[in-house]
């Protein structure tokens, strides 16, 4: 069994990806994001790390499952088939593949994530 220690969300151990992720498309404001991938399985289907986004909105369609823990910030997710849901620092939640809607960052978000690619 291998155990890997990451940095912490204020001091990741890898350089960030600073481009928007492929399935994230800005629709309001001028949001930016940074993604730190701290671990990726050999087959590339499981990733963990940290993510940061500044205020603004993205249209996003999830083709992955994502477990999230917010450390800082506030965001509202607006799925085409559900009522808007707002998440704040301290919240832990799961987004299932198939989410199709808007991710609106209202206050800069910093989160830890675990993603499973389907």
Listed by start position, the domains of the chain span: 24-117
Distance CA 98, CA 90 (A): 24
Q: Is 66 helix (H, G, I), strand (E, B) or coil?
A: strand
Give me the residues of the chain with pLDDT under 50, please. none
Distance CA 67, CA 47 (A): 11
Q: Is the pTM of this model over 0.95?
A: no
Q: Which residue has the tokens 């069994």?
A: 1
Distance CA 67, CA 81 (A): 20
pLDDT at 103: 98
Q: Where are the beta strands (DSSP E) in 1-118?
A: 24-28, 33-40, 46-53, 56-61, 64-79, 85-88, 92-95, 100-117
pLDDT at 1: 54
pLDDT at 4: 76
pLDDT at 109: 98
**CATH hierarchy code of domain 24-117:** 2.60.120.10
């Amino acid at each position: 069994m291998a155990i890997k220690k990451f940095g912490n969300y204020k001091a990741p151990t890898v350089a960030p990806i600073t481009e928007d992720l492929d399935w994230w498309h800005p629709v309001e404001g001028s949001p930016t994001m940074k993604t730190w991938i701290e671990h990726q399985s050999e087959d590339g289907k499981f990733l963990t790390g940290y993510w940061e986004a500044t205020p603004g909105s993205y249209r996003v369609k999830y083709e992955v499952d994502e477990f999230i823990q917010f450390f800082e910030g506030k965001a509202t997710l607006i799925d085409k088939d559900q009522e808007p849901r707002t998440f704040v620092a301290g919240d832990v939640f799961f987004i299932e593949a198939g989410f199709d809607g808007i991710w609106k960052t209202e206050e800069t978000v910093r989160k830890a994530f675990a993603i499973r690619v389907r």
